[in-house]
Amino acid sequence: MTAYSDLAAHFGRIAALSNAVGILQWDSDTMMPNGAAETRAESMALLRVLRHGMATDARIGDWLLEAEDDETLGAWEKANLREIRRVWTVDTALPADLVEASSKAISACEMRWRQARAEADFAGLLPYLAEVLNLQRQIGRAKGEKLGLSPYDALLNDYEPDGSSAKIDALFDDLAAFLPGFTQEAMAVQARRPALATLDGPFAVETQRALGLRLMGALGYDFERGRLDVSTHPFCGGSDNDVRITTRYDEADFTKALMGVLHETGHALYEQGRPQGYLSQPVGAARGMSLHESQSLLMEMQACRSRPFLTFAAPLMRESFGGVGPAWDSEAMWQRYTRVAPGFIRVDADEVTYPAHVILRYRLEKALIADAMPLAELPAAWNEGMKALLGLTVPDDRVGCLQDIHWPSGGWGYFPTYTLGAMTAAQIFDAACKAEPGVLPGISKGDFSPLVTWLRANIHGKGSLLSTDALLTEGTGRPLDASVFKAHLRRRYVDEA
């Protein structure tokens, strides 16, 4: 056994534990009975502690030193060593008792969040969320000391390797200045159209599910390695080669759940397309969450809210629900799916106003991690931000600061990757359409194979072989360029509207 093979075998076992945690987490979020929560939390905490113990094994440092001198290794193996050192450096910053305490606090907070959200009861969630936040601050400080980063940037690093709040601040300040005026411009364009006819429900959940499954198949989802279920908050999870997605249904409006399914299918396609030979290794992982979000937003926003896709999908919607009249035409569906209207719920937000939701959450979580704002003031700060960014008055915390599971689940530093992902999606889709002339004609016929084939070769199959900037530069000809996203918005919502 060489040092490299020792490392690969060791991280293969870590991946097996991570897969077990992934399935248990999926079950907790979809069908676990509430009475099992305490037992499940104990099991999850133990698995995470075992995984952390393996990830911080003292032998890893010695193996790395020896393997990094091995000149026989190829490009993938060398990149794997780079990724192993990166994750090992972060993991060794945390003591096992902090990992265990955080896992238990998260499990308890997630369960209490479900009740608090339903009842719009922030006060009931506050002590649970305060404990999660306290532990996240400790985790941020510990990682930050090891990495030479601020606590917030250390948390961000878990989701966006090499990302920084300084870069995000500049980007988001620019967007916060651009979007209000552009939003008004886009709304003025759509106001000149005739009023859209309504889609009259109810729309049976089973029919919605069947349509969602049909379109998942069109996008290229492999049902032999995944499934579709229901959860309070839509997500993509599971394990290697068992990539599961969820959505939530509304019998009064099928359009939201359907786009939720297509969004999560984008995530799943990325997971199902990762390099099979390196699935159990850090180099085989998805390259950061902005890239992951780019894949969901590429499918949902770039492809499935386009005129070509709705030319294909509108007749299927009409057929599924027995729709009658012009409200079911493809152009009406396109107008419906590209309608700009500020709203309270992030996951239901249109493409133009969505970044405002992310900017709000980013600014709030950064202030909370820095202890620059008491947690008890979160609802008031949230409501003030919604008024400033979107002009909305929040009626209750259910549609306000309680709507997302990210903070209760310990996902601090995650939110900015959504808007980074939207920009990345625009750039990747633009490159794919230019490189493969069959992409848009294929989408108009429900054939996503030209697009998915290009993504497999240029994004999915690369895993973490390259840095995000290098991957984008290789695939699109340049690193992330926000101007592509702005040009896309102007083209879709003003020039071609």
Catalytic residues: 264
> Which three-class secondary structure state does DSSP give residue 232?
coil
- Does residue 414 contact residue 290 with C-beta atoms inside 8 Å? no
Task: Output the DSSP codes for 295-317.
Answer: HHHIIIIIITTSHHHHHHHHHHH
CA distance 334 to 340: 12
Other CB atoms within a 10 A radius of the CB of residue 5 amount to 12
Residues near 9 by Cβ (< 8 Å), separated by ≥ 6? 1
Q: Work out whether the CA dihedral 167, 173, 176, 177 comes out positive or negative.
A: negative
Q: Show the tokens assigned to 402.
A: 């309680």
How many CA atoms lie less than 13 Å away from 307 in the CB half-sphere?
6
Task: Output the DSSP codes for 397-460.
Answer: TTTTTTS-STTTTT-TT-THHHHHHHHHHHHHHHHHHHH-TTHHHHHHTT--HHHHHHHHHHTG
CA distance 303 to 312: 12
Q: Show the tokens assigned to 284.
A: 């085989």
CA distance 294 to 291: 5
User: Nearest Cα to 355, choosing from 180, 160, 164?
Assistant: 180
Long-range CB contacts for residues 378-382, cutoff 8 Å, separation at least 24: 378/122, 379/122
> Which three-class secondary structure state does DSSP give residue 243?
strand
What's the chain's length in residues?
A: 497
Q: Show the tokens assigned to 431.
A: 């490159």
228-230/242-247 β-pairing: parallel
Backbone phi, psi, residue 230, to 5°? -115, 140
CA distance 478 to 256: 34
